[in-house]
Amino acid sequence: MMAKKIYVAILALAGFAGGACADDNVEIVKQGGASVTLADVEGFLQQMPADRRVGYLENPTRVQQMLIGILRDKQLAQQAVAMKLDQDPQVQAEIAVLRDQALSRRRVSAFEASLQVPSMELAAKEQYLAHKADYAISETADVQHLLISEKGRSDSEARALAEKARAEAVANPAGFDQLVQKYSDDPSKVNNLGQIRDATSDKFVKEFSAAAKKLTTVGEISPVVKTQFGYHVLKLMRKTPARQQDFAAVKDQLMAKLRANYVDEQRKAFLAKLDETTPSVNPQGMEALQQHYKLGDQPSIGDAVKAAQSGSK
């Protein structure tokens, strides 16, 4: 029954995602006297960055977990109110802090929405021309390899077997698939038949990537290569030369980054204005804080504010 209700809820959320006319108070799911509405879901989603929300809702399992979690919190909250736990001063203080945090986030969001972000196209072009090498795509090589491990063999036995496999590969490069199946100790060969994409990448051990870089002609067989995993023989399957991306290919990426940097700088400047005056500290209040939480001597808040300001520049 619950699964069916959750399924209906997912459909409701799909409408909500595009819906200017959705009713915020429409019930999605209810249990034990508590219900979850679209407004509740929106409140939950507001706690995460906007760019994560769409991806979050695309996962049905995550949506179900979200709805069940909100529903459980609501039921427990109802029980807490019935027990008058909401009247506990500590609970009221926590609610007040959460309220302030929510309003603080919304104020910053409102500030960012009010910004008139200038066009970044010219700045992006200047960035591209000044750092053109950063937008070059390195040469890549896709290889097929077989591995002779030293497990159960001496080093000389492993190398000799690798040399034998290589000689057969050189004699018949087209039969490399069969050599992988016959000789390779790499367990991943079951899924990839020894094929490795972008073998020149730094994510591979240096001896392996260096051997891949030396291969120049499709079908070429490498010398036997020793790594921490054993002895390898590589066959070049594909070579993609290095190339320079033109500005059109990276313009959107650059402009998005520059816009984000602009908004970030404006946000920092906006928040820094809050700290233009030195906080006024009540000595009795600071003493009460130290005694209540058994704190040591505390540095000047004014100095801490200045340090935070200089650290954010």
Q: Each residue of 10-42: pLDDT tens digit?
A: 444 544 444 444 577 889 999 999 999 999 999
Q: How confident is the model at residue 249 (pLDDT cuts 50, 70, 90)?
A: very high
At residue 102, φ and ψ (nearest 5 deg) are -65, -45
* 175 compared with 48, residue with greater pLDDT: 175
Task: Work out the end-to-end distance of the chain between its first and last CA atoms, rounded to an integer number of angstroms.
Answer: 55
Q: What is the pLDDT of residues 224-245, one digit of tens each?
A: 999 999 999 999 999 999 999 9
- pLDDT confidence of residue 311: 65
Q: Which residue has the higher pLDDT, 46 or 270?
A: 270
pLDDT at res. 22: 53
State the Cα–Cα distance between residues 3 and 6, nearest whole angstrom.
5
The correct answer on CATH 3.40.630.40 for the domain covering 139-241 is no
pLDDT at position 85, please?
97
Least confident of 7-11, 47-51, 74-78, 94-98: 7-11
Per-residue pLDDT, averaged over 123-146, amounts to 94
The crossing angle, in degrees rounded to 10, of helices 121-130 and 247-272 is 110
Residues 6+ apart with CB under 8 A from 215: 141, 143, 222, 234, 236, 239
Most confident segment among 28-32, 164-168, 276-280: 164-168
Contact 267, 141 (CB under 8 A): no
Q: What's the pLDDT score for residue 54?
A: 84
Please state, in angstroms and rounded to a whole number, the distance separating the CA atoms of residues 222 and 143: 10
- Give the long-range contacts of residues 252-258, CB within 8 A, separation 24 or more: 254/120, 254/124, 254/127, 254/128, 255/120, 255/121, 255/124, 258/120, 258/123, 258/124, 258/127
Please count the other Cβ atoms lying within 10 Å of the Cβ belonging to residue 75: 16
Helices 89-114 and 247-272 cross at an angle (nearest 10°) of 130
Average pLDDT over residues 32-57: 89
Q: Residue 304 has what pLDDT?
A: 74
Range list for CATH 3.10.50.40 in the chain: 139-241
Structure tokens that stand for 109 in this block = 């969001």
Query: Helix count (H) and strand count (E) of the chain?
Result: 13, 8
In this predicted structure, what is the pLDDT of residue 297?
A: 84
| Residue 17 confidence (pLDDT) | 47
Mean of all residue pLDDT scores within the chain: 89
Q: Is the pLDDT of residue 112 over 60?
A: yes
